[in-house]
Chain A
Amino acid sequence: MPESPAQPAIEVSHLVKTYSGVTAVNDISFTVPRGEIIGFLGPNGAGKSTTMRILTGYLPATSGHVSVCGFRVADEADSVKRRVGYMPENNPLPEDMRVSEYLFFRGRLKEVPRRKLGSRIDEVLELCDLKRARHKIIGKLSKGFRQRVGIAESVLAEPPVIIMDEPTIGLDPHQILIVRDLIASLRGRMTVLISSHILPEIEMTCDRVLIINQGRIVAQGTPAELRREVLGQSAYEIEAAGPLGSLPFVLGTIVPGLSVASEGPVDELGFRKIRLKTVGDDEAGEAILRACLSEGLRVRALSRSRPTLEDVFLAATRRSWDAVVEEPRDGGRP
């Protein structure tokens, strides 16, 4: 099959993988367009690593169809391997090599022309802030450095698709920032598939998120879509003084579905926290404020509380554990 820009970077349909009777990946399908950064979320043992290994051609799938840049992984593994930069879980590295030696060896294996390899190694060392460590033995590097060596290695041959299994594990916040910028700098040029436990990480870097649990996709979409789809509500919090009166009723008429969820205790100044929730995702702040003022409440603060991806993740995985596994929908809620 020819490689054309129209072909999606990664195409997975009805992928199943069983290990001696245990189903690790159970009929998952997704498509990643070129240049997109996609985050893979899931609890331990959800099948993230297995899916990634199948995508790289390292493990064979039990059934289903997987293709990378239009090449079927099962038949054209060699073409696929030339187009994928892969960093496995726990980032295995040889202990007794120097960083630059290792990158040189990997570059030769990945068929980077010998003439370009030297300058390319300098580039990735610069990119990953590894210049100072280039002559150090890998076995003596700290975890953060090792992780960056792994990342440098995966982008070394400038593959169109990069797959990284938990790239930010074991890094300090400063290094996470560097890695995040690094991944963001690849946006548009390369397709990046990363898995992570660190949810803000995914939320900040990824265009789209796939949440998988027990080998199935339980939710997919942009972080905003997921909030809407999985939680299906947004919440407001006001701090106000005065009698509540007919506020709940008024709110219900101005914004359908808006209701008072809870009321906090009154503090010494007479203010209390009131939580409101809506079903939709439309901005209702102004309407709430106006309703409160017309009801004679004195308002001190109004804030919209955004559910984090963490809430979405917990809700989505809980939902799938409750065995109400819904078929994944494409895009947002209709």
Chain B
Amino acid sequence: MRHFFTILAHEVRMLLVSPSTYVAAVAFLAVMGFIFTNILEKYSSAPQDVSPASVFFSVYFLPVIFMVPLLTMKCLAEERRLGTIETLLTTPVTTTEVVLGKYGAAYLLYLAFWASTSGLFYILKRFAGDPRLIDPGPIVGGYLFIAVSGLLFVSIGVFTSALSRNQAVAGLICTTILILIIFGGRYLGSVEWLDRESLAPIKAAVSYGQISQHFLDFTRGVIDTRELLFYLSGTVLFLIFSILGVEAKLLHS
């Protein structure tokens, strides 16, 4: 694992010097700021039941669906397109170290983007003067959910980047998979034909994988180890698929 940190440091550095990172960060903050402003406007006109933080984090899927593909689609696809994967893998570096290093860098950037939204809460606390608007529970729970679910989302992005040498294809597949697991679970949870007795195990599995339900639990302060395990095992699975994907492309090239 000695090369993991070399690759991680290199990847983080390359992300930090790349203009596209800053463009993405500005776009992300603009959209999140816009959403936040809308929420505050609603709160100022009429009192609401839930804290603004839970409403704010409930649109987590918007940045996930658009930001995660943008952050990750480049990481392995670009190496293959340029052919630099060949120089990379002919050094004493394992495929695992390469994939983990790139995954780690993308995940750190994802966290950094979300961390920047804490500025919105700071501004609210500084100027609203109403302590009820700042409820630490949902804020901590929300960020925790972002951090844990981000593990899985970013690993899906890395996996799709391993599939194609074309960044656009990788990004589109990533968006599709993310939409499927975020909204597909919600849809499957609501369909009626799954309510049959014989399909009960499938129903149980579907409800176990409900990401929107996980979100509600986290913001309510319920941290269920089964949910943590869901994201961790999913992450490990997609990372193993990424490693196998990179190696399979070599074997059959």
A92 and B253 form a contact (CB under 8 A): no
Q: Is B17 an interface residue (CB 8 A)?
A: yes
A86 and B87 form a contact (CB under 8 A): yes
A92 and B92 form a contact (CB under 8 A): no
Q: Is B226 an interface residue (CB 8 A)?
A: no
A92 and B84 form a contact (CB under 8 A): yes
A78 and B91 form a contact (CB under 8 A): no
B86 and A92 form a contact (CB under 8 A): yes
Q: Is B125 an interface residue (CB 8 A)?
A: no
Partner of B86, one of A88, A94, A110, A153: A88
A-B contact count (CB 8 A): 59
B84 and A109 form a contact (CB under 8 A): no
Asked if A109 meets B6 with Cβ closer than 8 Å, knowing A59-B253, A78-B92, A81-B91, the reply is yes
Minimal beta-carbon separation of A146 from chain B (angstroms): 12
Minimal beta-carbon separation of A60 from chain B (angstroms): 7
CB nearest to A101 among chain B residues: B13
What 0/1 readout, one digit per residue, does chain A (90-132) give for beta carbons within 8 Å of chain B? 1011111100000001101111000000000000000000000
Q: State A108–B82 Cα separation when bound (angstroms).
A: 21
Q: Is A20 an interface residue (CB 8 A)?
A: yes
**CB neighbours of A147 from chain B (8 A):** none
B6 and A88 form a contact (CB under 8 A): no
Q: State A86–B86 Cα separation when bound (angstroms).
A: 9
Best-surrounded residue of A92, A96, A105, A110 (most CB of chain B within 10 A): A92
A81 and B92 form a contact (CB under 8 A): yes
**Residues A44-89 near B (CB distance < 8 A):** 53, 56-60, 78, 81-82, 84, 86-88
Minimal beta-carbon separation of B87 from chain A (angstroms): 6
Q: Is B10 an interface residue (CB 8 A)?
A: yes
Chain B interface category by residue count: 20 to 34
**CB neighbours of B10 from chain A (8 A):** 105
Partner of A60, one of B82, B86, B90, B251: B251
B90 and A84 form a contact (CB under 8 A): yes
**CB neighbours of B18 from chain A (8 A):** 96
CB nearest to B18 among chain A residues: A96
A94 and B92 form a contact (CB under 8 A): no
Q: State A96–B15 Cα separation when bound (angstroms).
A: 11
Best-surrounded residue of B3, B7, B90, B92 (most CB of chain A within 10 A): B90
Q: State A20–B253 Cα separation when bound (angstroms).
A: 9
Asked if A97 meets B14 with Cβ closer than 8 Å, knowing A60-B251, A109-B93, A110-B92, the reply is yes
CB nearest to A83 among chain B residues: B92
Minimal beta-carbon separation of B75 from chain A (angstroms): 13
Q: Is B23 an interface residue (CB 8 A)?
A: no
Minimal beta-carbon separation of A268 from chain B (angstroms): 61
B6 and A58 form a contact (CB under 8 A): no
Q: How many residues of A contact B (CB 8 A)?
A: 29
**CB neighbours of B88 from chain A (8 A):** 109
B90 and A92 form a contact (CB under 8 A): no
B91 and A92 form a contact (CB under 8 A): no
A95 and B14 form a contact (CB under 8 A): no
Asked if A96 meets B89 with Cβ closer than 8 Å, knowing A109-B3, A109-B6, the reply is no
**CB neighbours of A86 from chain B (8 A):** 87, 90
Minimal beta-carbon separation of A264 from chain B (angstroms): 52
Q: Is B123 an interface residue (CB 8 A)?
A: no
**CB neighbours of A110 from chain B (8 A):** 91-92
B91 and A88 form a contact (CB under 8 A): no
A109 and B92 form a contact (CB under 8 A): yes
Q: State A92–B251 Cα separation when bound (angstroms).
A: 20
B89 and A58 form a contact (CB under 8 A): yes
Best-surrounded residue of A57, A105, A106 (most CB of chain B within 10 A): A105
Q: State A105–B86 Cα separation when bound (angstroms).
A: 15
Minimal beta-carbon separation of B3 from chain A (angstroms): 6
**CB neighbours of B191 from chain A (8 A):** none
Asked if A88 meets B82 with Cβ closer than 8 Å, knowing A109-B3, A109-B92, the reply is no
Q: Is B83 an interface residue (CB 8 A)?
A: yes
**CB neighbours of B14 from chain A (8 A):** 94, 96-97
**CB neighbours of B251 from chain A (8 A):** 60
B92 and A90 form a contact (CB under 8 A): no
Q: Is B252 an interface residue (CB 8 A)?
A: yes
Q: Known pairs A58-B250, A93-B82, A109-B6. 7 more at Cβ < 8 A?
A: A19-B253, A58-B89, A84-B90, A94-B84, A96-B18, A106-B91, A111-B92
5 residue pairs, one from A and one from B, having the closest CB atoms: A92-B83, A109-B91, A56-B90, A108-B6, A86-B90
Chain A interface residues toward B at CB < 8 A: 19-20, 53, 56-60, 78, 81-82, 84, 86-88, 90, 92-97, 105-106, 108-111, 153
> What are 10 A-B residue pairs whose CB atoms fall within 8 Å in the complex?
A56-B90, A58-B86, A60-B251, A87-B87, A88-B90, A92-B82, A95-B82, A96-B18, A105-B6, A153-B87
